[in-house]
Structure formats: C-alpha cells, structure tokens
C-alpha cells in the first residue's frame, strides 16, 4: 500500500513537472515555428465552420476521405461533369481548408469551366464572380500566406474580367464596375484627393458603434437616418445596411455626372416626390450641416464592407493609391494589382528558393496590371447606361511602371533561371507602346526620349548592338503600331483617342487645323483597317462580334475623345473653354452631340473646386444652339428602338405559341 502511494506521488509530481515545463517550452516552440514559418499561416482562423473541427477530429481518416474525393473529382472532370464536381470540391475545401490547390481548382472550375457551359452573358458572370469570391473571401481567409492563391486570383481578374478572351467580357466589365461603384461611388478626380479619400477609409473605426461613440457629427447622421429614413423602408430593412451605400451612389449619379439620368430628368422626379425614399435621402445628404458626419459615416461603412465582404485591407488600398497612382477601384486591373502586390508582401517570408518562380510570376502580374492602368486606368461609368464603362489613358501610371520594372529587375537579377532577364521583354513592349502613344498625342520630345532609352537598352547600346531602333521615330511608330493591332486589336482605340486628344488641344486650341485633319485621317485609316479585317463577320456563341464592336467604338472615337478631354480637370479650364468656343469650325455638331454628357462634369468640377462662385459654367461653356432638336431626335430614336424590340419579343412569343 505504501509503495503504491509513493508511485502515485511520483507520477503526480512528474505530471505537474511536465505541465510546468511545457508552460515554459511550448511558447518558445510556437515562437520558433512562427519565426521559421513552420506553421500553415501567420494567422489563425476564428469561427471556423463545424465541419472544419470535425475534419480535424477524425485525424488520419480525413486524408483517406479527401484522397477518395480527389480521385472522384478528377474522373468527373475528365468526363466534363463540371456541375457534378461542385459538391465534392466544396467538401474537400471544408475537410482540408489549409490545402491551397483545392481552392484554386474549385475557383477555376467555376470561373472558366462552368461559366462557358451557360447560355447567357449574365449566367456566365455569376459563375465567374462565384469563382473569384470563393478564393478571395474564403480561400485566402484560411490561407493568408499562400502565394499561389494570390497569383491565380490576380490572373483571373486580369485575364477573365478585364481581358477580351471571353465573349461576355463587356458584361463582366460593366457588372464589376457596378459592384464597386455601388460600394465606393464616384472617386475624386485628382491623385492627391483620391489618396486622401482612401486614407479616410483606412483610418476609420472598426465598427459603427465605435464611430458613434467618438464622433458626435456622425452620430447625428446615424440618428436622422434611423428616425427619418427608417420609417420609409420595409419593416425588416436596416437604414444603415450596405444598401445605403448603393442608394447614395445612385443619388450622386442622378444629381451629378450621369448623362442618362439627366436625359431622363431623374433629378426632377426626386424633386417632385416621385420616390419618397430617395427624396428623403437626398434631403439628408445635401444638408450642409451634416457633411462632416456623412464623410465619417461613409468612410466607416465602406471600410467595414471592404474588410467583411471582400477580405480587403483599406490600409493597403490607401498605401497602393498613394504610392502607385490614382487607382480607380472600379477597374478590374486595380484589384489584380492589389492581390498580386499583397500576395508578394504576405508570402515573402515563407517563400523557398526553389519556389522563386512563383514570386516572379506574381510580380510580373503587378507590372502587367500597371501597364493596363496606364493604357486605360481612367474609368468613366454611368450606372444608368447599359454600355460598358469607358476606358481612358492614365499617364501617371507610366512612371510608376518604369520604376517598378527597375526595382524588380534588380530584385531578381541573381534569381535562379535568369529571373531578372524574364522582365526585359515586358519593358521593351511597354516602352514601345508608350512611344507610340506619346507620338500620337504630339509629345514628340517625350516620345524621342523614350525611343532613345529603348535604343540604349535593346538597340545600339545592347551587346551585341542591334540597329533595329536606329530607324526614324515616325517609321518605328507606324510599323510597331500595325504589328500590335494584329496582336491586341483594342490597343488601336487608345492610339486613336490619344491622337484626337492632341488634335483638339493643338489643332483647335492653338488654331492649327492641319494637325486636326491629320489626326482625323489617322482615325479614319485605323477604322478602315479594322472594317476590312478578315474577322469582321465573325459572331461568337453569345452573338457578340468583337471586330464589329471595335469598329463601332472607333467610329465614335471623335465624340469619345472630346468628352474625355472636356471633362479632364488636369487640362486648364481656360484651354477647354477656348476649344469649346472654336470646335464647331472644324467639327460641326460635335458640341450638340456631347453637351449633355460634358456639362455635369464641368458643374461638379467647378462647384466643388477653388473656382466655386467665381466662374459661371454657362458663360464659359455656353449651351450650343439646337439642343432641343437634338434631344427630341434622341428621344424619338429611343422610342423607335423600344417599339422594334417590343415587336420582336411579341413575335417571338407568338411563334412559340404556334408550335
């Protein structure tokens, strides 16, 4: 008996000693594992679904189940049973949430395989969006340090949404712009203003409750929304839900820059009480005494939605806007840039030398996104117009792209597989494109400097020397342009718009009509080139015709370039007023065709800037004669088109009945 008690006492002492020792040793082990990146991620996932805990509890059996599911999924994929894969793939993500390949497999299956099995563009978009949401909102929460997830997500946004390989891409661009416009609204115009706008979201409190406690002005707005707007909503609706952000975006468009809303006189409908909810919201939003509170409330609500719904960090979004350029988050390439850059930051500590090619590919995506933003990063979006959002060059990204190339070339110079050399073809193409753009915009001196840089790096300054870039600048521009048009047809539109922009500023603003005529000749030449293209008559499965669409946009390039120029606050107002007064001499009726689109931008710019109260928009930019007749013509055409559409739908229903 005595011996048993001694054994028990010793065993108890050992247990106590072991527990005490573990209390000292385990934290150090965890710290070492964290420091040497031996854990799956640098952050744990809270509130994981019960199936995840169950998967952990069944231990080794989980591996056998997952192996069987993977074999089954691969067999179904070989047979093209993409829809049947969904449930099994979803179960794998729950049993092995830390296994990154299943997230990319499942997301790619939705965005690429399932989407193209559908019959309408809208159905396609739903599957593309689901694939993106899966990786962004779920996969990356479980695997915040997994570089491949960031790389694939960025590529999908670039290739599938912003690219033109999918016949439904115009709808993707519009739906993406709509989603982010509903959340963030129309961004400020200048780079500094846009940076401050994003920084306000980065600095916002983490919850509405905290905001109300620390900001009396925001608390007043919240109370008014609950007391005055809440009773007008359905009983279950929350006046402070994200739906408020969508309604405010619509309200700003109605009262601001939406050409369609102006044509339909939606603002007049609000004033006459046509919509009680929007009318009350307009009253509260335009109350001067509440503006500071509104600013704080919107920053907090947007910040919270970014974190909760989109798994995006407003601090990083503000940082990237400050450092890289005036990012418009309604552009898919802005998000491709965000995820590629964030992935590089999050995965850098955990990257092994043998996986360096993944980092190179992810950073290459950054460069590609910046290049695309330089070509068309300025978005013009009208939420009431069903056409895809407009794209215009954003030159601020050019210098950023060149600087990033220099940084990445040095970063990977000694990487295995000639890592730095893999960026050379990119910068060669990028410089060639911007030489052409600068030349077409009349910036000959800048184009010549870029051409000399290209020659120094890849021409006569290279080893061995290459005489390719010793040709005259204008010859190089003409030859490289045609080559790129065949590879990337939509580049032609940016060339034409750039040439026309220069023509308006110099040909009309400085009274040099020969410059304007030369730009028009170039635009007509490019349009005719594509009008006679071999693929002109090709229709896709969805009924879209890419070349005809491009020719249609090229044929409208003159008014497009004029609207973009006249609404650009970086061009001095006096210069724009001069162009406005003289443009009819060379391009009659252009002012009539574009006035209703331009005026809201000018009003917003002047009323919200330092010239408020000093410049009268209607005196500086008088309404051209003939506007009433033009509006009546547009209304008649819209009615005629609607009648034809209704007649076609009716005929279709009748034929269905006959069968």
Q: What is the CATH number of the domain that holds 114?
A: 1.25.40
Picking from 182, 185, 164, 186, the residue whose alpha carbon sits closest to that of residue 173 is: 164
| CA–CA gap between residue 491 and residue 553 (Å, rounded) | 12
14 lies in the same domain as 132: no
With respect to residue 344, please indicate whether it lies within any of the assigned structural domains: no
With respect to residue 204, please indicate whether it lies within any of the assigned structural domains: yes
Q: Count the neighbouring beta carbons within 10 Å of the beta carbon of residue 597.
A: 23
Last residue of a domain, one of 271, 293, 327: 327
With respect to residue 58, please indicate whether it lies within any of the assigned structural domains: yes
243 lies in the same domain as 304: yes
Q: Which domain holds residue 653?
A: 628-659
Question: How deeply is 593 buried, as exposed, middle or buried, from its count of CB atoms within 10 A (0-12, 13-18, 19+)?
Answer: middle
pLDDT value at residue 33: 43
Picking from 485, 565, 487, the residue whose alpha carbon sits closest to that of residue 525 is: 485
32 lies in the same domain as 96: no
With respect to residue 119, please indicate whether it lies within any of the assigned structural domains: yes
User: In whole angstroms, how large is the CA radius of gyration of the chain?
Assistant: 29
Q: Count the neighbouring beta carbons within 10 Å of the beta carbon of residue 387.
A: 11
Distances (CA, A) of 247 to 183, 224, 267: 10, 16, 14
318 lies in the same domain as 210: yes
- Burial letters for 245-277: b for 16+ Cβ neighbours within 10 Å, e otherwise? bbbbbbbbbbbbbbbbbbbeebbeebeeeeeee
68 lies in the same domain as 137: yes
pLDDT value at residue 254: 85
Last residue of a domain, one of 143, 172, 205: 143
With respect to residue 600, please indicate whether it lies within any of the assigned structural domains: no
pLDDT value at residue 297: 97
Per-residue tokens: 512: 């040099």
202 lies in the same domain as 267: yes
H runs (alpha helix) in 264-355: 266-271, 276-285, 291-310, 314-324, 332-347
120 lies in the same domain as 15: no
302 lies in the same domain as 199: yes
With respect to residue 492, please indicate whether it lies within any of the assigned structural domains: no
The model's pTM is 0.74
With respect to residue 171, please indicate whether it lies within any of the assigned structural domains: no
253 lies in the same domain as 320: yes
194 lies in the same domain as 317: yes
With respect to residue 503, please indicate whether it lies within any of the assigned structural domains: no
Block means of pLDDT (10 residues each) for the chain, 659 residues, are: 68 63 49 44 46 52 76 80 77 81 89 88 93 94 92 96 87 95 92 96 96 96 94 90 93 76 69 77 93 96 97 98 96 98 85 75 93 87 81 84 87 70 78 80 82 87 83 83 69 79 86 86 82 58 55 77 84 86 89 89 78 78 91 83 65 34
Q: Count the neighbouring beta carbons within 10 Å of the beta carbon of residue 294.
A: 18
33 lies in the same domain as 131: no
Last residue of a domain, one of 327, 354, 383: 327
Contact 535, 547 (CB under 8 A): yes
Which residue do the tokens 């021409």 mark? 459
pLDDT value at residue 16: 62
pLDDT value at residue 320: 98
Domain count, the chain: 4
197 lies in the same domain as 101: no
Q: Count the neighbouring beta carbons within 10 Å of the beta carbon of residue 292.
A: 15
pLDDT value at residue 80: 74
| Extended beta strands in 535-618, E state | none
């Amino acid at each position: 008996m005595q011996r048993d008690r001694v054994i028990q006492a010793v065993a108890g002492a050992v247990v106590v000693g072991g527990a005490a020792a573990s209390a000292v040793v385990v934290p150090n082990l965890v710290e070492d594992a964290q420091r040497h990146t031996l854990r799956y991620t640098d952050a744990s996932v809270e509130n994981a679904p019960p199936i995840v805990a169950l998967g952990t509890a069944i231990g080794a059996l989980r591996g056998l189940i997952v192996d069987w599911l993977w074999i089954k999924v691969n067999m179904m994929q070989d047979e093209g049973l993409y829809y049947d894969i969904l449930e099994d793939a979803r179960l794998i993500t729950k049993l092995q949430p830390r296994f990154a390949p299943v997230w990319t497999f499942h997301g790619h299956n939705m965005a690429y395989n399932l989407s193209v099995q559908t019959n309408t563009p809208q159905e396609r978009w739903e599957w593309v969006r689901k694939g993106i949401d899966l990786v962004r909102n779920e996969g990356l929460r479980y695997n915040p340090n997994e570089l491949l997830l960031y790389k694939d997500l960025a590529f999908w946004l670039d290739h599938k949404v912003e690219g033109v390989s999918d016949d439904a891409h115009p709808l993707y661009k519009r739906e993406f712009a709509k989603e982010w416009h509903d959340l963030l609204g129309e961004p400020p115009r200048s780079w500094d203003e846009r940076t401050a706008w994003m920084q306000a979201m980065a600095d916002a409190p983490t919850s509405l409750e905290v905001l109300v406690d620390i900001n009396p002005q925001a608390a007043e707005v919240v109370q008014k929304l609950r007391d005055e707007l809440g009773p007008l909503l359905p009983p279950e609706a929350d006046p402070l839900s994200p739906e408020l952000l969508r309604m405010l975006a619509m309200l700003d468009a109605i009262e601001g820059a939406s050409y369609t809303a102006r044509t339909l006189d939606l603002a007049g409908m609000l004033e006459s009480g046509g919509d009680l909810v929007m009318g009350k919201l307009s009253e509260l939003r335009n109350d001067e005494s509440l503006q500071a509170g509104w600013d704080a409330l919107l920053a907090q609500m947007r910040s919270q939605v970014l974190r909760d719904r989109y798994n995006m960090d407003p601090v990083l979004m503000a940082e990237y806007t400050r450092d890289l350029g005036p990012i418009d988050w309604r552009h898919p390439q802005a998000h491709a840039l965000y995820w590629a850059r964030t992935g590089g930051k999050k995965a850098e500590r955990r990257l092994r030398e043998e996986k360096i090619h993944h980092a190179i590919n992810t950073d290459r995506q950054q460069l590609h996104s910046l290049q695309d933003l330089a070509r068309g990063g300025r978005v013009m979006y009208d939420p009431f117009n069903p056409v895809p959002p407009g794209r215009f060059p954003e030159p601020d990204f050019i210098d950023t792209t060149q600087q990033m190339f220099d940084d990445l070339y040095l970063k990977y110079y000694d990487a295995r597989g000639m890592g730095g050399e893999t960026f050379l073809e990119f910068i060669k193409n990028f410089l060639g494109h911007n030489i052409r753009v600068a030349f077409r915009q009349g910036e000959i001196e800048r184009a010549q400097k870029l051409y000399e840089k290209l020659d120094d790096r890849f021409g006569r300054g290279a080893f061995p020397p290459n005489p390719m870039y010793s040709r005259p600048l204008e010859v190089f521009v003409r030859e490289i342009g045609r080559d790129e048009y065949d590879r990337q047809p939509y580049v032609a539109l940016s060339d034409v718009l750039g040439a026309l922009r220069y023509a308006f500023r110099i040909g009309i603003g400085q009274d040099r009509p020969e410059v304007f005529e030369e730009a028009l000749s170039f635009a007509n030449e490019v349009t005719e080139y594509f009008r006679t293209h071999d693929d002109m008559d090709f229709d896709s499965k969805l009924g879209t015709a890419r070349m005809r669409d491009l020719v249609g946009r090229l044929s409208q390039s003159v008014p497009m370039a004029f609207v973009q120029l006249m609404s650009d606050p970086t061009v001095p107002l006096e210069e724009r007023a001069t162009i406005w007064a003289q443009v009819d001499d060379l391009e009659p009726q252009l002012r009539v065709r574009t006035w209703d689109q331009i005026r809201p931008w000018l009003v917003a710019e002047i009323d919200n800037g330092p010239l408020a109260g000093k410049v009268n928009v209607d005196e500086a930019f008088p309404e051209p004669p003939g506007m009433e007749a033009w509006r009546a013509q547009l209304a008649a055409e819209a009615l005629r088109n609607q009648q034809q559409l209704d007649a076609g739908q009716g005929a279709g229903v009748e034929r269905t009945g006959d069968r």
